[in-house]
Amino acid sequence: MLGRTYENQLCSIARTLEVVGERWTLLIIRDAQLGLRRFEEFQDSLGIARNVLTNRLSKLVDEGLLERVCYQERPARYEYRPTAKAKDLLTAVLALMHWGDEHAEDPAGPPRITSHVGCGGNVRDQLVCTECGQAVRPDAVLLLPGPALTDSPA
Q: Which of residues 74-113 bind a copy of itself (CB under 8 A)?
A: 85, 87-106, 108-113
What residues pair up with 135 in beta bridges, in sequence order?
128
Q: Which of 51, 70, 75, 151 binds a copy of itself (CB under 8 A)?
A: 151
State which of residues 1, 70, 76, 119 lies at the interface with a copy of itself (CB under 8 A): 119
Establish if 61 lies at the interface with a copy of itself (CB under 8 A): no
Residue 52 in the binding site for a copy of itself (CB under 8 A): yes
First-to-last C-alpha distance (Å) of the chain: 29
d(CA 142, CA 73): 53
What radius of gyration, in Å, describes the C-alpha atoms of the chain? Answer: 19
Alpha-carbon span 69 to 83, nearest angstrom? 12
Cβ 82 to a copy of itself shortest distance, Å: 9
